[in-house]
Each structure stands twice: as C-alpha cells, then as structure tokens.
Amino acid sequence: MSTTIAPPAARHGIPPGLRAARRTATAATGESAIARWILIGIALAYLFLFLGLPLFVVFEEALKKGVGAYFTALRDAELLHALRLTLLVAGIAVPLNVVFGISAAWAITKGKVRGHALLVALADLPLAVSPVIAGLTFMLLFGMQGWFGPWLRAHDIQIAFTVTAVVLATIFVTLPFVARELIPLMEEQGVTEEEAAVTLGASGWQMFRRVTLPNIRWGLLYGVVLCNARAMGEFGAVSVVSGRIRGQTTTLPLHIEILYNEYDFTAAFAASSLLAMLAVVTLAAKHLLERSHHAARARLIQEQQEKQP
C-alpha cells in the first residue's frame, strides 16, 4: 500500500506527477475491475439513453435532407444574426453573473454576514421560477401595462422588446449558477488561508488572486460552463421579452422555434445542432484549461521536490 500523500498545495487538483502513486493506491481504495465496468456500463447506458439518443435525433433530423441542405440552412442570414445575438447575450450575462457569484460567495462565506441563509435563498430563487414567468416579471416591470413602462415611454426609452430585455431575462435565469457552485466550496474552505495572507501583508487583490482564486477555480469553471450553457439555450424567459423581431431580437433558440413552426425541420434541427456544438466547445475549453493547469502545477511540484531533498 502506498503511503504517498499529496503536499497540501495539491489538495484541490491532482497533478499527473502523482497519478502513478494514485494508481497503486487504487488496489485499496478502488473498486474491483468488474464492479468498475458495471458502474461505467450503467452510467454510459443512462447517458446514452437520455442524452446521446436525443442528440442523435437532432443530428439525424438536421441531416435528413443531406449535408448540402444542412449547410445551406446554416448559412441563412437571419440564423447567423440569431447566433451572433445569442453569443452577445451570453457574453454579457455570464461575466456579470461571474462577478455576482464571486462577490456573493465572498460576502456570504468569508464575511460571515448576518442573515446569510436569506441571501443564499434569494440567490437561488430564480431557479424556482418558471422561465415563462421569469420573462413575465420583466414585462410587469418594463411593459406598457407594467410599473415603469409608461414612464420609460414618456422619456423615449425602450427596454421591453430590445436586446436589453433579452440580456436582463438571461441574467435572471442564469444568476444562481456561479454563486451556487462557489458558496458551498468556499464555505468548506474556511477563512484561515485568506486570513494568513492578509496577516502577511497581502493586498486584497493579491490575496484574492493568489489564495482564493486558485482554491475555487474548478468550482468557478463549472459554474461558468453551466451558466454559459443555460444562457445560450434559454428559451422560455427570452421568448416573452424579446418581441421576436426577426434579425433584431431573435436569439438562436427563438429562431429555432420559428423555423420549426414554419415546418422547416431541417433548418430548425441544423440550428439546434449548432447550439449543441457550442456547448461541446465550451466543455472542450474547460478541459483544455484544466489540462494546461495540471501540467503547470506538476512542473511546479517537481521543481519544489527537486529543491527540497
């Protein structure tokens, strides 16, 4: 049995340098090969049944009329505009929610703020709201029958049925994701490391960058991936606030619905496959980040170990 124990710094990421040691440990802490393969089999079967097959259907329908029709559908100007708008909306909503997520998690877990259970619940609340209702709330605020609509109209400002409204609805729907990932993580980590850094004279920013960020990065990354995927795919809330003006406020999911309702199934599913691929790209980016980071971390540990003996 191996007695190799990871240095404290490597607790939250497993450098490849330690993988060999880990593998020997598997005999004691891992499952038998049979159990492992059964578990993998069940998990893969489940994923295949619930996720793989629907994805297959999307591509099958998209390619039903041939590859040519597929690419023709993807070159449509309105579709490309919808794609750009979706990326823009995600590009605004995700960073804002990242800032919010980090700041909420910081205030709640490190500040030991009073009533923090209430704050956590509030940050979760958007998840409890049906997307259509989420959209409706913004109509009740900015619509002509809403609280601020008439005032805004009198001042020649339009929010409802503009890209602004689409962004707002998307922020609302995806607001909890980053905070959700970070709060438990940072709570578990406590404050000792940061306090030590501050005591040693680190500035707030230094402490955040050198201590907090490395500790939370995987949770943060997951949060971003989730937030981004949901931001790009959101349909219900956006459909209420966008006004669906073609080539102006239709996001990709809205455009897909419109195509579908026009019996243009090929184009609808081609556009869907585009969204699915965007999700895969996000995931690939995450994997690359993780891998390059692991490599850097491994090098660092190796250097340290070489210095020490």
Cα atoms in the Cβ-side hemisphere of radius 13 Å centred on 186: 28
Closest to another protein by CB, 107 vs 303, is 107
Q: For residues 23 and 35, give the distance between their C-alpha atoms in angstroms, rounded to a whole number.
A: 17
Closest to another protein by CB, 35 vs 296, is 35
Q: Does 15 bind another protein (CB under 8 A)?
A: no
Figure out which of the listed residues 20, 66, 71, 262 binds another protein, where binding follows CB under 8 A. Answer: 262
Q: For residues 36 and 55, give the distance between their C-alpha atoms in angstroms, rounded to a whole number.
A: 26
Of 238, 244, 122, the closest CA to residue 171 belongs to: 238
Return the residue matching tokens 């406020």.
249
Q: Does 138 bind another protein (CB under 8 A)?
A: yes
Q: Write down the least CB distance from residue 193 to another protein, Å.
A: 11
Residues 191-220 touching another protein, rule: CB under 8 A, are 191, 194-195, 198-199, 203-204, 207-208, 218-219
Figure out which of the listed residues 20, 283, 289, 295 binds another protein, where binding follows CB under 8 A. Answer: 283
Closest to another protein by CB, 285 vs 300, is 285
Burial class of residue 199 in the structure, from the number of CB atoms within 10 Å of its CB (0-12 exposed, 13-18 middle, 19+ buried): exposed
Figure out which of the listed residues 79, 166, 226, 301 binds another protein, where binding follows CB under 8 A. Answer: 226
- Site size toward another protein (CB under 8 A) is 147
Instruction: Say how many C-beta atoms besides its own lie within 10 A of residue 245's C-beta.
Output: 10
Figure out which of the listed residues 9, 51, 289, 296 binds another protein, where binding follows CB under 8 A. Answer: 51
Q: Write down the least CB distance from residue 210 to another protein, Å.
A: 14
Q: CB of 110 within 8 A of CB of 306? A: no
| Cα 154 → chain centroid | 38
Contact residues for 132 (Cβ-Cβ < 8 A; gap 6+): 236, 237, 239, 240
Both tokens of 81, joined, read 């505009």
Q: Does 36 bind another protein (CB under 8 A)?
A: yes
Span near another protein by CB under 8 A; candidates 65-73, 106-114, 300-308: 106-114
Q: Does 82 bind another protein (CB under 8 A)?
A: no
Closest to another protein by CB, 291 vs 299, is 291
Q: Does 47 bind another protein (CB under 8 A)?
A: yes
Q: Does 63 bind another protein (CB under 8 A)?
A: no
Both tokens of 284, joined, read 């690939």
| Cα 208 → chain centroid | 21
Figure out which of the listed residues 83, 94, 268, 301 binds another protein, where binding follows CB under 8 A. Answer: 268
Q: Write down the least CB distance from residue 289 to another protein, Å.
A: 13
Q: CB of 197 within 8 A of CB of 207? A: yes
Q: Write down the least CB distance from residue 308 to another protein, Å.
A: 20
Counting other chains too, the contacts that 144-150 makes at CB distance below 8 Å and 24 or more residues apart are: none
Figure out which of the listed residues 7, 9, 66, 132 binds another protein, where binding follows CB under 8 A. Answer: 132
- Please measure the distance between the N-terminal and C-terminal CA atoms of the chain and give it in whole angstroms: 23
Closest to another protein by CB, 53 vs 303, is 53
Q: For residues 77 and 88, give the distance between their C-alpha atoms in angstroms, rounded to a whole number.
A: 16
Closest to another protein by CB, 5 vs 67, is 5
